Every structure is written in structure tokens, then in C-alpha cells.
Amino acid sequence: DQQVKQNSPSLSVQEGRISILNCDYTNSMFDYFLWYKKYPAEGPTFLISISSIKDKNEDGRFTVFLNKSAKHLSLHIVPSQPGDSAVYFCAASGFNNNDMRFGAGTRLTVKP
């Protein structure tokens, strides 16, 4: 039972344009939502998070939007850069983050 779903296995965008990665979840008890980025041969690295009491969090070129009624979150990258090419994982957890559930990942390719 996958509680966190990323339905797009891959996404390709042009350098300088916006990248939008989407994530859906089924458990309304999740308190925190996080995005991780993963390069080949490395572990995932934390990118940005949002609490369930907020609907937007911004950090530089990265913005995460949360729509609780739709159980949907998205990561916007503006402007996209070739170095952003990686696999992006969406994750969700309860208050203490211990039981963090991950989606299957979306491979983003940013073309020069």
C-alpha cells in the first residue's frame, strides 16, 4: 500500500524554464512533507520541507506547495538548471519524522 505516489517517472524541461514535480498522498495524518534529490551513486539529500499547517514554503529557486484538500503537493524549480538533473523523491511523515514514507521518484532532466 503506497501512501505516497509520484505518478510521473520522468520529466524533461529546458534550462531556464520551470520544473514542476508532483506528488499525491493518501494518509491525511501526515504532518510533514519533504522533497529529496538523488544523484547516481549517492544517497538522497534533503531539499525542502513543508508542515501540514502551511500551504507554501520557499527556499531560493525551490518552492513546495501543499494542497491538503486534494492530498497533493508539488515542487517548483525556477529557473531550472542542468545541475538540477537528478531523481526527486517526495516523502511524508508523522510529527516525529520517524516513519517517513517515500514515493517512487521522478527523474528530472534539464536540457541545456
Partner 1 sequence: EAQVTQNPRYLITVTGKKLTVTCSQNMNHEYMSWYRQDPGLGLRQIYYSMNVEVTDKGDVPEGYKVSRKEKRNFPLILESPSPNQTSLYFCASKGSSANYGYTFGSGTRLTVV
Using CB under 8 A, which of 28, 42, 70, 112 touches partner 1?
42
Site residues (CB under 8 A) for partner 1, limited to 64-103: 89, 91, 95-103
Length of the chain: 112
**Residue 57 or 74 with smaller CB distance to partner 1:** 57
**Residue 10 or 14 with smaller CB distance to partner 1:** 10
Query: Which distant-in-sequence residues (6+ apart) come within 8 Å of 14 by Cβ?
Result: 80, 110, 111
- For the chain, what is the radius of gyration of the CA atoms? 13
Which position has the grid cell 513546495?
A: 64
- Terminal Cα-to-Cα distance of the chain (whole angstroms): 38
Using CB under 8 A, which of 8, 22, 49, 109 touches partner 1?
49
Site residues (CB under 8 A) for partner 1, limited to 3-22: 4, 6
